[in-house]
Amino acid sequence: MRKICVYCGSSIGSNPAYREAAQELGTLLAHRGLTLIYGGGRIGLMGVLADAALAAGGEVIGVIPGFLALREVAHPGLTRLETTGSMHERKARLLALTDAVIALPGGLGTFDELLETLTWGQLGLHRLPIGALNVAGFFDPFRAQLDRAVADQLLQGVHRDRLLIDTEPGRLLERLATVGIPTVPKSFDRV
């Protein structure tokens, strides 16, 4: 595990713990010699994360759709910045570059990226370990929703369990590095 993709908000959020977690994770990745792969933004938690990794001497690769780069939200100081034609291409490229995924708190974009990554894993399109850094209980409702889907037999528990949720970034990285990814074919109901 050498490259970690991090999904997070393009806003800072109201809880100072979100900023602190982004700084801590960015610094930790750099200190462990892990390359940060992320959405390429200079604003919000994305900017905090990238700045922390860069300040600690880390390599940071951003992937941003062209229309966002034109709006001047691209980070100008990255090790490398790639531009894609669409949000969908961005998500595919992020996953192609990485060895594991971590979600920090964020809004619709973060949820979209996390859910699509989980879905692609369920469908067997990748075998990447996936984690969420549960800052101030941010992912507790998400975990409850996944549990509800399992209880209602809409989601297999093995697919819910692909998401490793932890409150400590170092421990989450260790879990991601050692988790076994089961090969479970997606079963489709026949009508």
What's the first-to-final CA gap in the chain, in angstroms?
Answer: 41
User: In this predicted model, what pLDDT tens digit does every residue of 151-169 receive, in sequence order?
Assistant: 999 999 999 999 999 999 9
Angle between helices 16-31 and 169-178 (to 10 degrees): 50
User: In this predicted model, what pLDDT tens digit does every residue of 47-70 receive, in sequence order?
Assistant: 999 999 999 999 999 999 999 998
| Helices (H) then strands (E): counts for the chain | 8, 7
Q: For the whole model, what pTM was predicted?
A: 0.95
- pLDDT surpasses 70 at 135: yes
Q: Where are the domains of the chain?
A: 3-177
Q: Calculate the alpha carbon distances from 18 to 44, 71, 127 in Å.
A: 10, 25, 28
User: In this predicted model, what pLDDT tens digit does every residue of 86-121 receive, in sequence order?
Assistant: 999 999 999 999 999 999 999 999 999 999 999 999
CA atoms within 13 A on the CB side of 177: 13
User: What is the Cα–Cα distance from 3 to 130, expressed in whole angstroms?
Assistant: 13
Q: Calculate the alpha carbon distances from 72 to 13, 65, 67, 149, 168 in Å.
A: 20, 11, 9, 39, 33
Architecture of the CATH domain 3-177? 3-Layer(aba) Sandwich (3.40)
Q: Beta-carbon neighbour count of residue 149 at 10 Å?
A: 15
